[in-house]
Amino acid sequence: MRAERIRVTGLLSRGSRGFVLSATEDGLWVIDADGPLDQLVGENVIAEGTIVGLDRLKADWIGIASASGRPGEPA
């Protein structure tokens, strides 16, 4: 089985199942990440990673999104 990689953008919050990304176009994702995410809670972020369940994303990169939703562009 091949894992699908995706990139999603949205608001990061903390929920009962862990960190949750409310994606602007792709619904809700529970985020699994190796590093700390507390400093990003409440921020619009971009997360890239592998889908590992119905609504779970194993993120290998998360960063703050610009106003356009594209990394590197001015807000």
Is the pLDDT confidence value at 75 over 50? no
pLDDT at 2: 62
Beta strands in the chain (DSSP E): 5-15, 18-23, 27-32, 44-51, 56-64
* Spatial distance between the Cα atoms of 49 and 75, rounded to a whole number of angstroms: 24
Topology at the third CATH level for domain 5-64: OB fold (Dihydrolipoamide Acetyltransferase, E2P) (2.40.50)
pLDDT at 69: 47
Q: What is the pLDDT of residues 55-71, one digit of tens each?
A: 999 999 999 997 654 55
Q: What is the domain partition of the chain in residue ranges? A: 5-64
Whether pTM exceeds 0.85: no
Q: What is the pLDDT of residues 15-62, one digit of tens each?
A: 998 999 999 788 999 999 998 999 999 999 999 999 998 999 999 999
